[in-house]
Amino acid sequence: MEALLNDETYSDITFVIGDARITAFSGILINRSEYFQVMLTSGFAEGREARKEIPIHNTTPEAFKAILRYLYTDELEFPTKHLVDVMNKAKEISLERLYEHTVNEASRLFTVHNVVEWLVKADEDGLEDVRSVAFAFFKRNHQRIKAEAKNSLQGLSKELAVRLIEEL
State pLDDT tens for residues 111-128: 999 999 999 999 999 999
pTM above 0.95, yes or no: no
Number of folded domains in the chain?
A: 2
Rounded CA separation 166/140 (Å): 14
Query: pLDDT tens across 45-72, in order?
Result: 554 555 578 999 999 999 999 999 999 9
Residue 97 in contact with residue 71, Cβ under 8 Å? no
State the CATH number of the domain containing residue 23.
3.30.710.10
Q: Which of 93, 109, 125 is the last residue of a domain?
A: 109
**Is the same domain home to 15 and 63?**
yes
**Is the same domain home to 124 and 53?**
no
**Is the same domain home to 9 and 83?**
yes
CA quadruple 126, 99, 90, 20: dihedral, nearest 10 = 110
**Is the same domain home to 42 and 121?**
no
Domain span including residue 141: 110-167
